[in-house]
Amino acid sequence: MTPALEKFLRDNLLILSVGGACILALLYPSPGKILDHAEISPWLVFSVFFCQGASVDLRRLPPARQLLPILAIGFASSQILAPLLALGILAIWSPAPDYAAGFFLMACMAPTLVSGTVISTRGGGCIPTALGVTIILNLTAVLTVPLCLRWGPGGATMDSLHLLGKMLLLVLLPAVIGQLWRRRFTERAEKSKAWLSHLPVALLSLTIYINLSVQAERMHQLNWHDGLSFALAGLLLHLICLWASLRAGTWAGAELGVARSLAICSSQKTLPVAVTVWSTSLASNHPLALLPCVVFHFMQIWIDGLIAGRWARTETQGK
């Protein structure tokens, strides 16, 4: 394997794995249906967030005094602006109910747990800022996501308290346990960076495969027009939030690297939490709602990679 190919696979592991899971569910759904009957998905999700908690070094967070203004902007962009924009886009777009529910679900999510930090760093961002925005907004989203979803498509049939309980049990609890494990076995956690990074991707992909396998027949109804609509709508929402966060961070006096990390991290949306919410609260009434989430996730990673690359080239040319 050439170094270039190895780098491509490493940088795009999540997208390739999720895409592969979707294709596999479409072509070979039978094993996924068997696993669905075994009801292992909650355990897979629990393990994903245990690994996420175990992989985060909280000692790298910046002081609260420096972080609070940035967090306020990030929260406004991620948990207020994005859902409102999604409602506006849906009012114009008017997609099928499943697709509307999935698009709004993704808009309500917290930042990505890994890719936002990596991409913003490549673009000259600030790692402590990226970690702080990502971790704190994911913790607050456990409370805000159930509330936001009540106002969107599919929210009328959703039990917010039930969803909150599921997020506490399947997202927050395993992340806390993972962090406690890391503190108890710090040296082992440092040596386990590789599998703590790759195992969640495999488990998440397996979760998606299982849940989509049950809906394989319906997935055949997806056409290129729908996929293009998902992509353009997600791209529009993401870029508006990114621009707004970048401008607000600069206006607040943040350094360029801090503003860039704020913009990338607060505008990205996490797929693992979206899968958790969909599989526990939306899958029965909106089985195809996950498809816009997958397309949305792919588009944000792709466009942010291009933006970060341009930022990096600009910095290099300026030296």
Residue 249: per-residue pLDDT: 93
CA–CA distance, 3 with 281 (Å, rounded to integer): 42
**Of 75-79, 177-181, 219-223, 249-253, where does mean pLDDT reach its minimum?**
219-223
pLDDT at 42: 85
Please give the biggest Cα pair distance in the chain.
59
Asked if 219 and 24 count as a contact pair (C-beta separation under 8 A), the reply is no
Average pLDDT over residues 288-315: 84
pLDDT of residue 102: 92
Q: What pLDDT shows up at residue 247?
A: 95
Residue 284, token pair as written in the block: 């029965």
Write down the domain spans for the chain: 41-215+224-310
Q: In CATH terms, is domain 41-215+224-310 a member of 3.30.390.50?
A: no
Residue 308's alpha-carbon distances to 115, 121, 153, 277, in angstroms, are 12, 8, 33, 30
Name the band, by pLDDT with cuts 50, 70 and 90, for residue 158: low
Residues 83-129 pLDDT 10s: 999 999 999 988 989 999 999 999 999 898 777 877 887 788 887 88
Cα–chain center distance at 42? 18
- If one compares 57 and 260, the residue with the highest pLDDT of the two is 260
**Residue 268: predicted pLDDT:** 93
pLDDT at position 75 is 96
* Buried-state track 259-285, b at ≥16 Cβ within 10 A, e below 16: bbbbbbbbbbbbbbbbbbbbbbbbbee
The pLDDT of residue 164 is 80
pLDDT value, residue 319 = 55
Digit-coded pLDDT (tens) for 16-49? 787 788 889 888 999 999 998 888 888 888 888 8
**What are 288's two structure tokens?**
């195809």
Q: Is the dihedral of CA 299, 239, 154, 276 positive or negative?
A: positive
Within 10 A of 205 (CB to CB), how many other CB atoms are there?
Answer: 22
**What does the alpha-carbon distance between residue 104 and residue 293 come to, in Å, rounded to a whole number?**
9
Question: Which residue do the tokens 């943040």 mark?
Answer: 254
DSSP conformational letter for 172? I
Neighbouring C-beta atoms of residue 82, cutoff 10 Å: 25
pLDDT tens readout for residues 244-264:
999 999 998 888 989 999 999
The Cα 50–Cα 171 span in angstroms is 8
DSSP track, 260-286: HHHHHHHH---HHHHHHHIIIIITTT-
The phi-psi region of residue 180 (left if phi > 0; otherwise alpha if psi is between -120 and 50; otherwise beta) is alpha
Percent of the chain at pLDDT above 90?
Answer: 24
| Separation between Cα atoms, residue 198 and residue 226, nearest integer Å | 31
Cα dist from 32 to 37, 42, 275, 297, whole Å: 9, 14, 16, 23
